[in-house]
Structure 1
Amino acid sequence: MKHVSFIVLLIGVLGYLGYEVYYHQYNLEESINNEIKVLLIYNRDKNSDILKAYESVLEEEGVPFEIMSNSTLIKIPPDTISMNIPAIIFPDSVNQYIKNSTDYWIEKYVKSGGKVALIYDVDTRGKDGKYKLSPTYLDRVLGLNFSVYQEERDQSYQYGNIYFKDQEAVNYFEMPTGKIDENFAIVGYQYGKLLYPLASVRVINDEGQKVYATDEKKRSVIVQKDIEKGSLLYVNTPLGALKGKSDDLLLRSILKTFLFKIAHVPHLISSPNAKGTLVINWHIDSSIEHASIKWNIENNYFRKDINQTFHITSGPDVYIPQDGLGFDVLGEGRGLVEQLMEYGSIGSHGGWIHNWFAKNIKEKNLTTEEIKSYIQNNNEALEAVTGYKPIEYSAPVGVFPPLSSIKIMKELGFKSYYYVGDSGSAPNRTFYNGKMLSDTIIAFPVMTFGINASLKEAHDSHLSEEKMKKYYREFADYLVANRSVRLFYSHPHDIRDYQYQDAVKDFLDYISTLVEEGKLQTRTMTNISHFIVRLANTKKRFTVDAEGIYAEVTNDISLDEIVLAIPKNVGQEKIKKDDYLEDENYYYIPLNGNDNRALINFPVESLLKNRKQDIRKG
């Protein structure tokens, strides 16, 4: 009798477990089959800093996504989900080992129409953590051999420069002109050509490959390969690790291209009203600006149709206490600050004595509390004139020890800051040593033009006025074409004192024209920082079926200036065109700023045609 009872119990347990597995699998497939999202895959560490770097960019770019384990992914039928899961990303570091059969799963998914991005070191190690010694199945599908350790050993991973194939490739991956030299190599602020970690990959079979970038030895860096209905993108540098070290640009640019131009993922646009946005940031360090501010106003370099931000060091000194060379906000500079308020917002440029403050931070002569007190003195002087607390910050001479500085920013209520890290990229919640510094205080990376940012630096590099005029025009066009946000920085006296007056005048005239035409907008750091935080915290859900796409967007504060981007096609079906702005791949739908929630249906054209036919028949 006991034996029979045990068998009955065992059957019951097995039945329950079978039901649980079925129920879990059913729910998983139901979720996947209804909701449009990007999958971010990891194998071992869901809490990896690398994943958080990807998450942050996807949130800031308004992308619906889900983090999923490798083992969960391969339980989903790969050939039925490409309409709902248009893109899958395998980030660097967290997928060095992938589960058995994942490579076959990827191939089936891609052949059915899916898009997959493989970043840097995917599938390069076995389960034991050791490097693979021969090409994998995935290597052969892509036509590149990542597994060169047996031949290369300590040369398997090196550093090299990244060269885009041509200007078309530069534009495709939304790289600002100022970040690319005449040979299409990526350059950095004050560094020249940047060195990136690169794997020593070898070409097995280049048939069908589109090579967008290589290193100086012509090794592949960015490669796309279309396979039947879908596509594989391989990137041979650790994008997540770079983001974690304050180099945001490549991760953001490549993800945007992959998700929006290759995979056509529905999303929210990362600029207000889906317009290119320029933030102009003038740094006022010393008494040299007393005359230059008047000169800039008289010569129409400061204009009321162009929003600007003016960051001021308030004290009466610059190099040493009591040298009397400072801007002196509470003295001779007061009237000038009052004039500048007509042209934009006033922010804090650090700690009271511009050069002395930067020098003593750099030499570690000041404690965190002392640094804070100098910034606080600076702020109080500005507030005494403007009537409001400054919430924008720029560090004198760019000296910004990240951890202690962010602590001070939080305590003093700052919401944004000028930043020399992430140069050339969009404002973002930057990372340092693998960690996000703040989820509410936004870094505004400086836009660079070659190795320079300010006009003085361009002068010191002997750049011609024609070269700067070209840079500035292309910069404005870049903002418009990519609906991007960037920060331009210099000093007011730079315009007066160096050879670029015509170039700056042409730039400002062009900006004014683009603003008047509705193609571009100028905003303050404060305005953009509020928008970025709000967008990153906006919930979005896209679902799809045979009738079309359904979008649900919610934000507890407001949907003001948020714009939906809906792909023009769902599989082989076209989304019905309405009175929307559009480009080659998307319709753009502004949301109602008075609402906290939007529910919108985007039907396919064939459904509407069928309904009209049914009405006629009736």
Structure 2
Amino acid sequence: MTKSLSWKQWLAASVAVLCVLAAIAWHQMSSRHASERYGSLTLLIPDSMAMDAPEVSIWTQAAAERGVLLTPLSISTWMRGVNYGAKAAQQAVIIPDTFHRRISDAAAQTLMDVVHAGGKAMVVQDGGLLDERGYYSPGQARFSAMLGVRYGDYDQYKENLSDYDEIMGSASTMEALGIPPGRYLNAKAAASLTSIAASDLARANPEFDSFVAGYTKDSQRFAVLKTDRPATPRILLQSADGNVVASIHRWGQGEAMFVNLPLTYLLERTDGIFLHGFLAYFSSEMVRQPSLLATPDGIGALVLNWHNDDRKAIGFLHTLQDEGIFDHGHQSMHFTAGPDVNREGDGLGMDLDHNPDAQEMVQKLRSQGHTIGNHGGWIHNYFGANANDSNGDDFEQYLDLNNQAVTKANGGQEPKEYSAPTGNQPLWVYDWMSAHGVKAYYTSGSVGMPPTRLWLGFRQVADAWAFPVLTYGQVASAEEASFQHMSVDEFGQWLQQLARFIEQTRTIRLSYFHPIGAVSYLPAVKAYIETMQGCADRAQCQFISMTEAADFLSSRAQVQWSLQEQGDDDVLTASHPQSLASMAWSIPKARYSGVQIQSGEANVQGTDQTWLVRAKAGQQLIMVLHRRP
């Protein structure tokens, strides 16, 4: 005979069932909440990957530097949140390249359904190209229809799935992606400053008249997957062979962006301008997020970095002083201080310890407010030609000697800026910089970028800010311009384009000169500085030293901010442990009709396309953003 349950057993069973239901409800709510990070892009990562894995940090650090809200989330958690009711129209997701090639058919379908229902997506090259077993889909890639581009067709191409080619686009698109003049070249400049073949420069489509260039004499080529030549999506960039490199496609009620470049891979190898650029473009142009600008008060800033290699530099510095070049803002003056240049004993060096003229020049520059820094290792050309990753034990002494001499000339203050002779920066130099408190350094990697925390593979140089140099093809300095037989007019036109770019993009960029080259191209250099000064007089630009920029960026990294939905408005809340002074946000007018300061102090200024909000002193700021219907 079956014995009936006692009331205590019934109660225990009921409690157990309620606990299970509560756990399920909590799990559903937490998954939905995680998938509904309002105002934030979502970086979908493999379930097996830690949130602080280097691959993930590459993206989250880039987002922080660009002032973009980005949240990493495992793809299964995101899928559950969508299935539990996260709003499709609020989804803005990224499938990254290189480390997230495999996703399930269910995840791929969920993403396509979300975009079709009104979400936004950015698919980066091989992101999601393989199924969970590591196999290609039959025929075209699963996201082809959503992206409007046929790609990833292994059945057709087999091992020849990709090309290695130049990238082309319009000048306006390049600049919208944060690529400055000189990092992109028109056909005429590309023909003279790279080895791009003339046949590749002649294109029927006049829209794609500019080429991405590196800091080498050879053209810069990229690995791109082969695609068809679609008519539907809006193509931003294409390869010289006509493959789609970047495009935007309407899919149902939403939009999807295809980026046919290995963004993660490129940043790991010190070419981060593309990951940063596309991340910012997706956020601002497609999702229309507010962004935290990376310049003091949201004003474009020019870093002028002077490399003084030898004794002759002092005479040219006098000429530049007489021309008023150093009467503008705060600049970064770096010195190689030893008595030799090419080899020990040649006597061609500055010999700062025993050169009264050089010492007086350093004091003059300091009195003008400029920052004194180290230009590497004591014997400029010898260090630049011979230091490498394996001989730090022999060459570190030259950094120490240079540092001691420059510190003495700098009134006993150890320099906090560094630039590498001939751009040669072995790995052990980063450790030396960290030990000596260097805050900022010049780099020939990631050319054209704003200041960044450089990645060397999966190692981030987190102690100091890297300042990539601006380049015009294989030209960065005036000496290199002379090597290319470039006219003063052409060099000057490039510098004027940079001045305009810095003002319009409200970013920090670095130009570097040697005194001898600057004197040779003096009309162009002087006009460049005067143009920037005119912009500064209008309060639209500023001169800034590397140290000042690094201090600002390190302070900016402590800003905590978020965006929350509040009825028909959004509320942006920001805080800083010391002060929000000089922090600025760009608020897109396409999404918001106005900005109201609810708490804290800030100025709101309207521009053509944005509301510019500049914070004043105070630790907290709350602003209400009025959404357009």
TM-score if structure 2 supplies the norm length? 0.89
Shift of residue 132, structure 1, vs aligned partner: 2.4
d(CA) in 2 for partners of 1:10, 1:291: 91
Q: 1:486 aligns with which of 506, 509, 523?
A: 509
Amino acid at match of 1:390: P
Q: 1:170 aligns with which of 150, 169, 174?
A: 174
d(CA) in 2 for partners of 1:156, 1:212: 21
Shift of residue 414, structure 1, vs aligned partner: 0.6
How big is each residue's C-alpha offset from its partner over 1:153-195, in whole Å with a ceiling of 9 and x where there is no partner?
111133221111x223223323211111223111111243212
Shift of residue 14, structure 1, vs aligned partner: 5.1
Partner of 1:70: 75
CA contact (8 A) 1:124 1:146 kept: no
Q: 1:390 aligns with which of 391, 399, 415?
A: 415
Shift of residue 588, structure 1, vs aligned partner: 1.5
Amino acid at match of 1:574: S
How big is each residue's C-alpha offset from its partner over 1:261-295, in whole Å with a ceiling of 9 and x where there is no partner?
22111221111111111000000010011211111
Q: 1:529 aligns with which of 538, 541, 550?
A: 550
How big is each residue's C-alpha offset from its partner over 1:8-28, in whole Å with a ceiling of 9 and x where there is no partner?
877755543332121122234
Partner of 1:105: 110
CA contact (8 A) 1:34 1:545 kept: no
Amino acid at match of 1:441: A
Q: 1:273 aligns with which of 292, 297, 301?
A: 297
d(CA) in 2 for partners of 1:562, 1:349: 31
The answer to whether the aligner puts 1:464 opposite 2:469 as a matched pair is no
Shift of residue 599, structure 1, vs aligned partner: 2.5
Partner of 1:328: 351
Q: 1:549 aligns with which of 570, 575, 586?
A: 570
The answer to whether the aligner puts 1:126 opposite 2:131 as a matched pair is yes
How big is each residue's C-alpha offset from its partner over 1:434-482, in whole Å with a ceiling of 9 and x where there is no partner?
32122x3111111101211000001101112221111011101001111
Q: 1:216 aligns with which of 234, 240, 246?
A: 240
Partner of 2:207: none
The answer to whether the aligner puts 1:17 opposite 2:6 as a matched pair is no
Partner of 1:400: 425
- Aligned residue runs from structure 1 range 2-151, under 5 A: 13=16, 15-30=18-33, 35-44=38-47, 45-46=49-50, 47-77=52-82, 81=87, 84-85=90-91, 87-151=92-156
- Aligned residue runs from structure 1 range 243-282, under 5 A: 243-282=267-306
d(CA) in 1 for partners of 2:527, 2:319: 17
How big is each residue's C-alpha offset from its partner over 1:24-83, in whole Å with a ceiling of 9 and x where there is no partner?
222343465573211111124235433221111101112222111111112223886366
Amino acid at match of 2:161: S
d(CA) in 2 for partners of 1:310, 1:34: 45
Partner of 1:614: none
3-state SS of paired residue (2:143): helix
Partner of 1:452: 475
Amino acid at match of 2:480: E
How big is each residue's C-alpha offset from its partner over 1:310-362, in whole Å with a ceiling of 9 and x where there is no partner?
10011121122222211122222211111222341100011211112223314
CA contact (8 A) 1:548 1:604 kept: yes
CA contact (8 A) 2:88 2:117 kept: yes
CA contact (8 A) 1:62 1:535 kept: no
d(CA) in 1 for partners of 2:380, 2:560: 42
CA contact (8 A) 2:236 2:246 kept: yes
CA contact (8 A) 1:97 1:123 kept: yes
Q: 1:180 aligns with which of 184, 193, 197?
A: 184
The answer to whether the aligner puts 1:202 opposite 2:221 as a matched pair is no
Aligned residues: 592
The answer to whether the aligner puts 1:574 opposite 2:600 as a matched pair is no
d(CA) in 1 for partners of 2:479, 2:510: 17
d(CA) in 2 for partners of 1:84, 1:582: 26
The answer to whether the aligner puts 1:337 opposite 2:362 as a matched pair is yes
Partner of 2:518: 495
3-state SS of paired residue (2:542): strand
Amino acid at match of 2:100: N
3-state SS of paired residue (1:457): helix
d(CA) in 2 for partners of 1:451, 1:391: 28
Partner of 2:449: 425
Comparing 99-108 with 517-526, which one deviates more in the overlay? 99-108
Amino acid at match of 1:70: I
d(CA) in 1 for partners of 2:441, 2:167: 29
How big is each residue's C-alpha offset from its partner over 1:462-505, in whole Å with a ceiling of 9 and x where there is no partner?
11222111101110100111111111011011122x3x221112
Aligned pair in 2 of structure 1 residues 179, 22: CA closer, same or farther (>3 Å)? Answer: same
Shift of residue 577, structure 1, vs aligned partner: 6.9
The answer to whether the aligner puts 1:558 opposite 2:564 as a matched pair is no
Amino acid at match of 2:184: I
d(CA) in 2 for partners of 1:448, 1:505: 18
d(CA) in 2 for partners of 1:339, 1:490: 19
Shift of residue 236, structure 1, vs aligned partner: 0.4
3-state SS of paired residue (1:425): coil
Partner of 1:612: none
Amino acid at match of 1:352: W
% identity of equivalent residues: 23
Where does the alignment leave 5 or more consecutive residues of structure 2 unmatched? 188-209, 598-602
d(CA) in 1 for partners of 2:61, 2:322: 43
d(CA) in 2 for partners of 1:222, 1:502: 39
3-state SS of paired residue (1:226): strand
Partner of 1:443: 466
3-state SS of paired residue (1:101): helix
Shift of residue 90, structure 1, vs aligned partner: 1.2
3-state SS of paired residue (1:76): helix
d(CA) in 1 for partners of 2:153, 2:285: 32
How big is each residue's C-alpha offset from its partner over 1:412-437, in whole Å with a ceiling of 9 and x where there is no partner?
11111100111111110011123212
Shift of residue 149, structure 1, vs aligned partner: 1.2
d(CA) in 2 for partners of 1:327, 1:123: 56
d(CA) in 1 for partners of 2:623, 2:605: 16
Amino acid at match of 1:246: T
How big is each residue's C-alpha offset from its partner over 1:180-235, in whole Å with a ceiling of 9 and x where there is no partner?
122311111124321212112335x532x111111121011001112344311100
d(CA) in 2 for partners of 1:180, 1:35: 35
d(CA) in 2 for partners of 1:56, 1:33: 21
- Aligned residue runs from structure 1 range 346-425, under 5 A: 346-362=372-388, 364=390, 366-368=391-393, 370-387=394-411, 388-402=413-427, 404-425=428-449
Comparing 14-23 with 255-264, which one deviates more in the overlay? 14-23
After superposition, the CA RMSD in angstroms is: 2.5
d(CA) in 2 for partners of 1:191, 1:254: 26
Comparing 132-141 with 386-395, which one deviates more in the overlay? 132-141
Shift of residue 378, structure 1, vs aligned partner: 1.3
Aligned pair in 2 of structure 1 residues 2, 582: CA closer, same or farther (>3 Å)? Answer: farther
3-state SS of paired residue (1:587): strand
